[in-house]
Homo-oligomer: A and B are copies of this chain.
Amino acid sequence: MTYCLAISVNKGLIFASDSRTNAGVDYVTTYSKMHSFVWPGERVCVLLTAGNLATSQAVVNNIKTGLAAQGSGMNLRKGKYLHEVAHYVGQLSQAEQREHADALQKSGNSSAEASFILGGQIAGLAPEIYLIYPQGNYISASPETPFLQIGENKYGKPILDRIITPATSLEDAARCALVSLESTIRSNISVGPPLELAIHTINELHEPVRMKLTLNSPMYKSLQKQWNEGLRDAFSRLPRFDWE
């Protein structure tokens, strides 16, 4: 399993992901699920991946192959709008899934499906984030729905629902993403560290600020401890029943 999310606020974009993958419960491994593609001054793209690891790795490889190719075909750098790039990623994903679908079905193995979040900014345009479904279609965030999630999204959604608005600062959005990941890690063993975080400030078209947090990183330990204490404190101040 996996949990990745992206948040779009007025000041820019936040991307966050866990790093645990598993095939069954006896093959648990660590892979980064965050990939950035940056042409300074021109465009910034960040891709988050969930689902079948073979599919998501193949999509990333094919994005890189596409960028290296000299032909006239579409690639990550050519899309004029970010939704064209999202469409392209959806096509790569569908092509990869089609190639292996029959074999997977015959062997009774799990699905080849993968989901993606693509976000970033193209010079002259606003920052955007897209969720690309396994079927290759995609949706963007909006002011009313300023975040997108893939993978194990439910445990970490309540805090996002409560805190995130377009006016939220980049740092608060990043903290909220970490809290959302921390709640998910606590409730689902198949989501795990290290956590990766990328912060894209609006109109700064260079490599986003990247952080990798392990369970022992001072920032993560401190956030985890203070959030736990803060929640317990909030809980202890809830109203009493009549008879108490």
Contacts and interface: CB of A to CB of B under 8 A. Distances in A.
A228 interface: yes
Interface in A123-162: 154-155, 157-159, 161-162
Copy number in this complex? Answer: 2
Interface stretch (A23-31, A60-68, A83-91, A169-177): A169-177
Which range holds the interface residue count of chain A? 35 or more
B241 A223 contact: no
Contact of A241 (B158, B162, B219, B230): B219
Contacts of A228: 162
A186 B176 CA distance: 17
Q: Which 8 A-B pairs have the closest CB atoms?
A: A230-B234, A154-B154, A158-B183, A222-B239, A157-B187, A175-B238, A158-B187, A154-B155
Given A162-B231, A179-B235, A219-B241, 20 more contacts: A154-B154, A154-B155, A154-B187, A157-B187, A158-B187, A159-B231, A161-B186, A161-B187, A162-B228, A163-B231, A163-B235, A172-B235, A174-B241, A175-B235, A179-B238, A219-B239, A223-B239, A227-B238, A230-B234, A230-B237
27 contacts: A154-B187, A155-B157, A155-B158, A158-B183, A158-B184, A159-B231, A159-B235, A161-B187, A162-B186, A162-B228, A163-B235, A171-B240, A171-B241, A171-B244, A172-B235, A174-B241, A175-B238, A176-B235, A179-B238, A222-B239, A227-B238, A230-B234, A230-B235, A230-B237, A231-B231, A231-B234, A233-B234
